[in-house]
C-alpha cells in the first residue's frame, strides 16, 4: 500500500464511508478505489483535488509522503496571496519548460487554492476542462476584465 493509498483508506474509514459510497461520489468504480488504496494504481492528477475535497484534506497532504495531516495547511503562502483571485477569469503564463498545452492562450476561471495547488476550469472547443496545477509552475496571471 502506498502512502497515498493509506491516507485515502484511513480518512475514508474515519468518515464511515464504504469504498462503494466513496467511488459513487467520485464517479469511479469501487474497484478503482480499491486499487488506489492498495497502491496498484494512482488516481489521475485531476481526481486528487476531488478526493481531497471529499475527504476534507489538502492536496499537499495527499501527495507528500512525509507530511502529516496536522502539518498540511489548507492554503499555503502563495495560495494565500492569491485568494482574492478565486472566481476570477485569468490568463496564466508558465515558466519555460512548465507550459501546460491545454491552457496556452486560454482564459481560465480559478476555482480554488489548496496548499501549493490551484484548481482551474476553462472552456475549450472540445468542452469544459478542470485542471489542478502547481503554483510553482506559474510565472504570472493576467486578470481578465469581465465583459
Q: Which domains does the chain have, with CATH numbers?
A: 3-63 (1.10.260.40), 77-143 (2.30.30)
Report pLDDT for 28: 94
Q: What is the spatial distance between Cα 71 and Cα 66, in angstroms, rounded to a whole number? A: 10
Q: What is the spatial distance between Cα 48 and Cα 61, in angstroms, rounded to a whole number? A: 11
Give 60's contacts (C-beta < 8 A, 6+ positions apart).
Answer: 67, 72, 73, 76, 114, 115, 116, 117
**How would you write the pLDDT of the chain (147 residues) with one tens digit per residue?**
568 999 999 999 988 889 999 999 999 999 999 999 999 999 988 889 889 888 888 887 888 877 666 555 555 556 666 777 888 999 988 887 777 777 888 899 998 877 678 889 998 888 898 888 888 888 888 888 764
Report pLDDT for 93: 87
Report pLDDT for 147: 47
Report pLDDT for 2: 63
- pTM value is 0.53
Report pLDDT for 69: 66
C-alpha dist (Å) from residue 110 to 24, 85, 146: 26, 7, 14
Amino acid at each position: 500500500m502506498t502512502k497515498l493509498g493509506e491516507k485515502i483508506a484511513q480518512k475514508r474509514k474515519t468518515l464511515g464511508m464504504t469504498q462503494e459510497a466513496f467511488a459513487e461520489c467520485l464517479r469511479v468504480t469501487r474497484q478503482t478505489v480499491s486499487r488506489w488504496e492498495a497502491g496498484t494504481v494512482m488516481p489521475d492528477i485531476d481526481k486528487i483535488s476531488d478526493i481531497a475535497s471529499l475527504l476534507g484534506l489538502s492536496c499537499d497532504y495527499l501527495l507528500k509522503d512525509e507530511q502529516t495531516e496536522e502539518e498540511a495547511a489548507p492554503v499555503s503562502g502563495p495560495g494565500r496571496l492569491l485568494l482574492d483571485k478565486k472566481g476570477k477569469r485569468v490568463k496564466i503564463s508558465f515558466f519555460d519548460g512548465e507550459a501546460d498545452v491545454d491552457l496556452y492562450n486560454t482564459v481560465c476561471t480559478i476555482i480554488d487554492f489548496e496548499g501549493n495547488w490551484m484548481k482551474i476550469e476553462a472552456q475549450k472547443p472540445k468542452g469544459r476542462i478542470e485542471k489542478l496545477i502547481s503554483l510553482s509552475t506559474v510565472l504570472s496571471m493576467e486578470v481578465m476584465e469581465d465583459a
